[in-house]
Structure 1
Amino acid sequence: MISTLSFGHPPSGAHARLSISSSPQPSMSSSSDSPIATPTFGTNDQSPLDARADSHADSGPSPSEIVPKIEECEIALADVKTEPLAEDPPISPTEPVRRRGRGRPRIYPPRSPTTSKQTKARSKTGCTTCRKRKKKCDETRPFCLSCQKNNIHCEGYKPVEIWKSGKERAAEARRISMDMKFELPPLMEGVENDIDRILLQHFISRASCVLTLHGSQSTNPFTRILLPMALKHEGLMHSVLCLSASHLCSLSPSQDYQDRQTFHRGKALHLLNQDLARQKAGERGTMVYEDSNVAQILLHLLHSICDGNTSGEYRYHMNAAKQIAMTQRSKDPEFQSLFDEFFYYHYIASEITSLEGAEVTMMDDFKLPFQINPETAALIGVSDGLFGFISKISNMRRRIRARIDNHEEPSMDYEALLTAHTIDSGLRSWVCPQTPGTPRYTVSMLYRQATWVYLYRTTKPSEPHPFIKDAVDNGIKYINDLPAEGWIQSNVLLPLFLIGCAAFEEQQRVEINRAFTGLMAVTGLGNIHHAKEVVDRVWELMDANDPESWDWERIIDSKGWDFLAT
């Protein structure tokens, strides 16, 4: 089928005519069978439609006369494309149109890629100053040139943050919270770490108890008098911790405790020297010590006992304490009583284990220059007058030793015999001020027995005798009757040492060894080992019938030792 569209060119003044033919016409320009609409433009040949148009040209065109021709087209089914199915079902003509209700828009509204606005992301790597000023930054590091040109302080750049998930940020926050741990400052000067707190607690609960006869913390002079002073004085607190570390090392050796002992000892001595350098001389030109410094000297003296020092280091503190005792008095009567008792006890006891010594002139007629209630005394032997006898015996031993060294005969002269008789009579008439049946009474009677043994070993030949055997047996009975508490065992070493040096019998030595072992376990004092070693040496000389077995001071000196058996 051929659709022919003809456009005529009428003469001038005539209307244009349109002719559409629907009749099949043979192809004039192509031999193809496909339907082709070929427009033809002619000037001479006219169709009947053109002739009718010309006849009515003068009267004007009539709309009813112009009938358009509709050309039938063949449509191949292959050329027809199927209409895509809509997502929503079609709405019927009778069904009213349902419009989408007003409300919140879709979460992800569809957006045409052609109509979306291409926004340019702002840079977040500029300096802090330019970002605050909302200015463009040239990002020069470490400080941008833009700020420098405008004479503005550049705050620099924030650190680059790497994106992390929620779990990673939570884990990092937990790690930072665990790492960010601030140590609390020390509550007391001198107590700096956990070990120091352990040392302070050990001093309160045990170390102070093995140095006095007071088992209760409320009556112990170290916790009741010295500890409050240490809370106000750093040097005294270091002295307390040094003493506690020394005692703890003897019980359970540890490098940590040893290091803290060395540290606190160094700090205590350094602060003590600083305080003494600032002290002013008294009216007589002598040095006046503060109570805290006197307490430090006393604690350093006790430290040599806990540490088991055999170099005679305690004598430096002993001489300083002696000068203080003779030249000044404290305004605090309780502290003065504590100092007097501890100084005189250790000063007189030091003569038992040393060749050096001088007579204590203040102990004439066995009277003390101070008064201490025996029921509340911290040590046995001082307040009840027994140490007055011991001091006299020590002085007599030095005179006898000097006569033996000078080969003077007899070694026991008339003056020595008179002194021995006076001491013996005093011991027999001595009345124990303690309540019978109490541990304090037993310890006092043990000291009385050890004092008589000390007198016998000084004035009699070093050989077995029934008198000395009975005295040693009775002393062992007193030791066995004592309770095993540490506070009552604190005063046992000195009488145990004196009785041990007079034990000629094997059975007595078994009991003495048992007592030494128990004393080491209970008190943990370092000087007990040295005292036991001296007793063992005395026993060897006894078994060899050596007449020099009475002079244990010379045995100690031959070893190069100088220690306190207290």
Structure 2
Amino acid sequence: MSQVAHHATACKGCRRRGRKCDRTLPACLSCRRRGVECEGYITRWPGVASRGKLAGKSIPVCDSSAKSSKHRPKRGNVPLSTGSRDMIERGLGHNSNDSHLDIQDLSSIFYLGTGPSDNPMFRYVLPLIDTVPPIRYAIAASASCHLAARTSDKDLEKKSLYLRVHATHLLGEMLRDPCSATDQSILASMLMLAQLDMCSGDCLEFETHLKAAVVIVRAQNYDHASNKHYFEQRLAWLDMMASTTSARLPNLSAAELKTALGRCSNHGQRQWSYDVFPCPIDLFEILADITMLYKAQVGVASPSEEPLEEVDCIKRRLAAWEWPGETSGPRKHMVKVWCLGIMAYLGRLFPSTNSSGAADLTSQVLYHAGLIPPASSWSYSLLWPIFQIGVTLGNEALDDRAWVEKRLNIALEAVGCRHFSNALETLRFVWDSDVPYDPLTTSMNGRTIMLA
């Protein structure tokens, strides 16, 4: 008889209810016996924490000076044995053909380009399906999650949860065996699980995955260029976007962020490694500077002149910025919406700079967003800037509120990522309460809101 795997701590449901948990993986039998679905386990990555200055820590800790002082043996991806893979597939009802369909579903969400040739999901994630088990089941869980949200299928939702727990367990096994996988495959697994956590809508383990991923990227022998910097830039994007809707500082320092943004260039112009980020790098850097400056002022009773001068400088940079790309079409309007959304973000965090007025910015955002087909990747990429103007809509703007609701519902039904419904739930709360929106407390019932 095969030995049953157990988690180190009780599952989320048993911990919350104060009940005895049998800690069985991938799902707790104690919950099943009570007729409830196991919610999975709190994830910690002790294998990551064994590196460098973080050695001995049970949870990854952000440390800007962390370096990997110990040379680790070169590692390679070890395929899951055929027998083990077949047994898992029979238990989960998932096979290799399904995985190819799943990644096609994901690539259509997180890619803005016109073809698959430069799609990083096809280039760097798809080849890992057979050799990196956590990737395979994280992808399957993501596809099930999206389909469940689109169809309101509870069984698919349960399958997604089961697949996610299993992917997390497999990643834990990889970390316990430091010679079983490359840093790239571990980083890819963590980012896929973070992305899955975001799309599921709960974001319970999102921060855990990001912190662990930062430790990987900071390692002295990490090969930044092996995937054209895609995973590192994806991490930088998710890390900063999460910081814009929470009280926490980014895990990456300002210097590390600028390094990640400067990895790729074309004729001296910085650019993302792949066509997956809707906000151009220069605009994204301005957004990051606004966020870091604001968080540095939190708790300061009377800001000095220096931060106010920095705000004015950022405002001038934002006003002077021009899009060097297409002069027409949906991408042009998408980029314009992002630029206007960042202006609204700056005006809300630093009201003294909001000379153009929220109403004017709102009308411009809605105008450009309205020129983009609702059922398109361009439109699905507008969640963050639309949210920025959505929180300013008062009771006199009922038509604009209705437009925002319609757009977010279209995106949810088409894509199946629940961060659209989380954003809409937050907007409705702000609209109904008539309380000014606080950018540092956007969580609802303790849930983090991700707008990436």
Q: TM-score scaled to structure 2, two decimals? A: 0.71
The one of 308, 321, 329 aligned to 1:438? 329
The residue type equivalent to 2:152 in the other structure is: P
The residue type equivalent to 2:291 in the other structure is: S
1:532-547 alignment to 2 at 5 Å?
532-541=424-433, 544=434, 546=435
Question: 1:324 Cα deviation (Å)?
Answer: 2.0
Tell me the equivalent position of 1:476.
366
Please tell me whether the aligned partners of residues 453 and 502 of structure 1 are also in contact (alpha carbons under 8 angstroms).
Answer: no
The residue type equivalent to 1:503 in the other structure is: L
The residue type equivalent to 2:277 in the other structure is: L
The one of 258, 275, 290 aligned to 1:377? 275
> 2:235 aligned with 1:343, yes or no?
yes
Question: 1:341 Cα deviation (Å)?
Answer: 2.1
Structure 1 pair 468–363 and aligned structure 2 pair: CA distance change class (3 A):
farther
1:207-226 alignment to 2 at 5 Å?
207-214=106-113, 216-226=115-125
Tell me the equivalent position of 2:284.
387
Tell me the equivalent position of 1:525.
417
Q: Deviation string for 1:162-206 (max 9, x for gaps)?
A: xxxxxxxxxxxxxxxxxxxxxx99998965576556753542332
In 2, Cα distance between the equivalents of 1:355 and 1:223? 35
Please tell me whether the aligned partners of residues 203 and 448 of structure 2 are also in contact (alpha carbons under 8 angstroms).
Answer: yes
Tell me the equivalent position of 2:343.
452
> 2:252 aligned with 1:355, yes or no?
no
Higher-Rg structure is 1
In 2, Cα distance between the equivalents of 1:377 and 1:338? 10
Question: 1:450 Cα deviation (Å)?
Answer: 0.6
Question: 1:423 Cα deviation (Å)?
Answer: 0.9
Tell me the equivalent position of 1:170.
none
Listed as ranges, the gaps of 5+ residues in structure 1 are: 1-183, 281-286
The one of 430, 433, 438 aligned to 1:551? 438
Tell me the equivalent position of 2:9.
none
Larger % of helix: which?
A: 2
Please tell me whether the aligned partners of residues 298 and 317 of structure 1 are also in contact (alpha carbons under 8 angstroms).
Answer: yes
Q: Say which SS state the counterpart of residue 556 (structure 1) adopts.
A: coil
Structure 1 pair 327–486 and aligned structure 2 pair: CA distance change class (3 A):
farther
Question: 1:563 Cα deviation (Å)?
Answer: 3.1
Tell me the equivalent position of 2:447.
561
Structure 1 pair 278–205 and aligned structure 2 pair: CA distance change class (3 A):
closer
1:97-176 alignment to 2 at 5 Å?
none
Q: Deviation string for 1:492-517 (max 9, x for gaps)?
A: 21111112122235133232222222
Structure 1 pair 200–215 and aligned structure 2 pair: CA distance change class (3 A):
farther
Identity of aligned residues (%): 17
**Runs in 1 of length 4+ with deviation above 4 angstroms?**
184-199, 328-332, 363-367
In 2, Cα distance between the equivalents of 1:363 and 1:497? 27
CA RMSD of aligned residues (A): 3.2
The residue type equivalent to 1:561 in the other structure is: R
> 2:390 aligned with 1:491, yes or no?
no
Q: Say which SS state the counterpart of residue 210 (structure 2) adopts.
A: helix
The one of 177, 184, 197 aligned to 1:291? 184
Question: 1:531 Cα deviation (Å)?
Answer: 1.0
Please tell me whether the aligned partners of residues 486 and 523 of structure 1 are also in contact (alpha carbons under 8 angstroms).
Answer: no
In 2, Cα distance between the equivalents of 1:364 and 1:227? 27
The residue type equivalent to 1:478 in the other structure is: H
Please tell me whether the aligned partners of residues 375 and 434 of structure 1 are also in contact (alpha carbons under 8 angstroms).
Answer: no
In 2, Cα distance between the equivalents of 1:297 and 1:375? 19
The one of 257, 265, 268 aligned to 2:156? 257
In 1, Cα distance between the equivalents of 2:306 and 2:257? 16
Please tell me whether the aligned partners of residues 423 and 451 of structure 2 are also in contact (alpha carbons under 8 angstroms).
Answer: yes
Q: TM-score scaled to structure 1, two decimals? A: 0.58
How many residues are treated as equivalent by the alignment?
Answer: 362
Please tell me whether the aligned partners of residues 119 and 274 of structure 2 are also in contact (alpha carbons under 8 angstroms).
Answer: no
Structure 1 pair 195–433 and aligned structure 2 pair: CA distance change class (3 A):
same
Question: 1:380 Cα deviation (Å)?
Answer: 2.2
Tell me the equivalent position of 1:396.
293
In 1, Cα distance between the equivalents of 2:174 and 2:203? 28
Question: 1:490 Cα deviation (Å)?
Answer: 3.9
Structure 1 pair 221–364 and aligned structure 2 pair: CA distance change class (3 A):
closer
Question: 1:357 Cα deviation (Å)?
Answer: 1.3
Please tell me whether the aligned partners of residues 246 and 442 of structure 2 are also in contact (alpha carbons under 8 angstroms).
Answer: no
In 2, Cα distance between the equivalents of 1:490 and 1:273? 33
In 1, Cα distance between the equivalents of 2:226 and 2:211? 22
Q: Say which SS state the counterpart of residue 260 (structure 1) adopts.
A: helix
